[in-house]
């Protein structure tokens, strides 16, 4: 299996979740082994996707370099990984990615519209060879060795519309588009009001997030899936694991994980040379088959 980029440059305009300002995002094809690199086009600063460039994980995953930041990139990255993109330049003319409808569905469509092309070099993957776990009380995220690529996520909220949700996602592009891409980000009215009071979440609305009050979902159209919440956590986890630099072959598990724990997990894995190996898909037949299944 080969590395991939997009066939044609493409642009998209949306609004930033926190600023509420319009943002333009442009995707350009990139050469082999380039990886995914964001560029603040208004400032001329390139920010590669590495754990060292993560500057904040409280409300979203934020990258930064030389004083330039780009916020809320996890949904876009999730779509890029799921669509099998290895090399891409992503230009943005502001400090956050467009929020679209709060899910990754628009980004998947964007990649389809741009077209996806195979390049000459073999695709790389990160094979997990030793369990790595990050814990915070009863919350955890971990990566385990496994033959295929899968994600098991569990959440528990004392809220009648959420309660306990558990989901096992088998990584394939088809499954992602069908089961995960459309799951929207969610938040509680209390938090929304607080965010607004500190000048954040200005662009947030029922058009781009599921919002809950004490008892129920406020969006008039309701949920896209009964367990949309846990599906969105999987969407986020895939985006946050993009910081490994290549898609992983193994099993990711979490109870109540967050961007912050995901960031610590990616850092911890890359710091432990015994916990992973980087392989090229064409080095072993069996591996190539697994990668074809998960990332083709
Ligand atoms: Zn999210």
**What is the pLDDT, as a whole number, of residue 196?**
85
Is residue 259 annotated as a catalytic residue, yes or no? yes
What spacing in Å lies between the alpha carbon of 285 and ligand 1's midpoint?
35
**What is the pLDDT, as a whole number, of residue 286?**
80
What spacing in Å lies between the alpha carbon of 31 and ligand 1's midpoint?
29
What spacing in Å lies between the alpha carbon of 119 and ligand 1's midpoint?
30
Give the 3-state DSSP-derived string for the chain, with helices as H, strands as E and coil as C: CEEEEECCCEEEEEEECCCCCEEEEEEEECCCCCCEEEEECCCCEEEECCHHHEEECCCCCEEEECCEEEECCHHHHHHHHHCCCCCEEEEECCCECECCCCCCHHHHHHHHHHCEEEEEEECEEEEECCCEEEEECCEEEEEECCCCCEEEEEEECCCCCCCEEEEEEECCHHHHHHHHCCCCCEEEHHHHHHHHHCCCCCCCCCCCCEEECCCCECCCCCCCCCCHHHHHHHHHHHHHHHHHCCCEECEEEEECCCHHHHHHHHHHHHHCCCCEEEEEHHHCHHHHHHHHHHHC
**What is the pLDDT, as a whole number, of residue 120?**
96
Pick 125-295's CATH classification: 3.80.10.10, 3.30.1700.10, 3.40.50.720, 3.30.420.40: 3.30.1700.10
What spacing in Å lies between the alpha carbon of 177 and ligand 1's midpoint?
16
Point out the catalytic residue in the list 18, 75, 232, 259.
Answer: 259
What spacing in Å lies between the alpha carbon of 104 and ligand 1's midpoint?
9
The residue ranges of the chain whose pLDDT is under 50 are none
What spacing in Å lies between the alpha carbon of 55 and ligand 1's midpoint?
17
What spacing in Å lies between the alpha carbon of 75 and ligand 1's midpoint?
6
Domain ranges for the chain: 2-122, 125-295
Q: What is the CATH number of domain 2-122?
A: 3.30.230.20
**What is the pLDDT, as a whole number, of residue 29?**
98
């Amino acid at each position: 299996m080969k590395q991939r980029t997009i066939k044609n440059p493409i642009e998209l305009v949306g609004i930033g979740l926190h600023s509420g300002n319009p943002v333009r995002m442009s995707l350009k094809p990139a050469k082999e082994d380039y990886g995914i690199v964001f560029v603040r086009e208004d400032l001329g600063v390139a920010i590669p996707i590495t754990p060292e460039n993560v500057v904040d994980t409280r409300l979203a995953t934020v990258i930064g370099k030389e004083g330039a930041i780009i916020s809320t990139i996890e949904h876009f990255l999730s779509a890029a990984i799921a669509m099998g993109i290895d090399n891409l330049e992503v230009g943005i003319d502001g400090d956050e990615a467009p929020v679209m409808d709060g899910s990754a569905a628009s980004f998947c469509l964007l990649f389809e519209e741009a077209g996806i092309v195979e390049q000459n070099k073999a695709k790389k993957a990160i094979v997990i060879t030793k369990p790595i776990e990050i814990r915070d009380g009863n919350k955890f995220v971990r990566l385990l060795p496994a033959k295929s690529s899968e994600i098991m996520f569990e959440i528990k909220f004392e809220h009648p519309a959420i309660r306990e949700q558990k989901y096992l996602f088998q990584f394939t592009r088809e499954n992602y588009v069908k089961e995960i891409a459309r799951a929207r980000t969610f938040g509680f009215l209390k938090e929304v009001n607080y965010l607004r009071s500190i000048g954040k979440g200005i662009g947030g609305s029922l058009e781009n997030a599921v919002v809950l009050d004490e008892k129920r979902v406020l969006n008039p159209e309701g949920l896209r899936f009964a367990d949309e919440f846990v599906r969105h956590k999987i969407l986020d986890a895939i985006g946050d694991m993009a910081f490994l630099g290549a898609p992983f072959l193994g099993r990711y598990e979490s109870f109540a994980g967050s961007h912050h724990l995901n960031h610590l997990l990616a850092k911890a894995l890359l710091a432990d040379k015994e916990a992973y190996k980087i392989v090229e898909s064409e080095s072993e037949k069996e591996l190539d088959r697994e990668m074809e299944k998960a990332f083709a």
